[in-house]
Amino acid sequence: MSESTPPSIGNTDIEQIKSQLKEDSKFKNAIGWFYWIGGLSFINSILALVKSTFSFIFGLGITQLVDGIAIGATERIQSDTKIFYVFSLVISLIFSGLFVLFGYLGNKKKKGAIITGIILYGLDAILCLVLGAYLDGLFHVWALVGLISGLVMLKNKKEDMAIPVLDPHKVGNDHYYDNLR
């Protein structure tokens, strides 16, 4: 019996796989902004309700507005009840969860979710600017650039970003390589 040589992968195939891995990583980093926005928004709400002077700049302005209304309403009626705080946390959880969902669906390459998230975050940036939170608004624009770059990557990709699986039984088959290109 003669020994067969193990299947080999050409340099072109390795470069193609490296390129796809790099592209997929860039895409996930861009879409990952949705997770940061959602998570930091909810943390900001908790920080606001415990009257912390610290907050994250990437959070949603709408949740900060709702938190401010809840704090103001509680102080105005001079009540020990925290019903406004609970309401504020529920609203914040809904908005935060929505942005986490945009991140999840974005990673599944759902363009509609990415576009909707970008539009909502853009509207939130406008809200920040209207309310005079200029630094928050500028950081929103920075995050929007990242999100839009993810959308552009997805749009420019002609095929699925999945890494091709090399079947060692078919490596010698010339037609197999044609399907990878």
The answer to the question of residue 172 being in a domain is: no
Question: How many CB atoms neighbour CB 84 within 10 A?
Answer: 21
Looking at residue 161, what is its pLDDT? 46
Where in the sequence is the domain holding 128, given as residue range(s)?
A: 26-155
- Reported as a single tens digit per residue, the pLDDT across 6-38 is 555 666 778 888 888 888 889 999 999 999 999
- Overall pTM surpassing 0.85 (yes/no): no
Looking at residue 178, what is its pLDDT? 53
The answer to the question of residue 49 being in a domain is: yes
Residues in the chain with pLDDT < 50? 161
Looking at residue 9, what is its pLDDT? 64
Looking at residue 45, what is its pLDDT? 95
The answer to the question of residue 65 being in a domain is: yes
Three-state DSSP string of the chain: CCCCCCCCCCHHHHHHHHHHHHHHHHHHHHHCHHHHHHHHHHHHHHHHHCCCCCCCCCCCHHHHHHHHHHHHHHHHCCCCCCHHHHHHHHHHHHHHHHHHHHHHHHHCCCHHHHHHHHHHHHHHHHHHHHCCCHHHHHHHHHHHHHHHHHHHHHHHCCCCCCCCCCCCCCCCCHHHHHHHC
Q: Per the structure, how many domains does the chain have?
A: 1
The answer to the question of residue 44 being in a domain is: yes
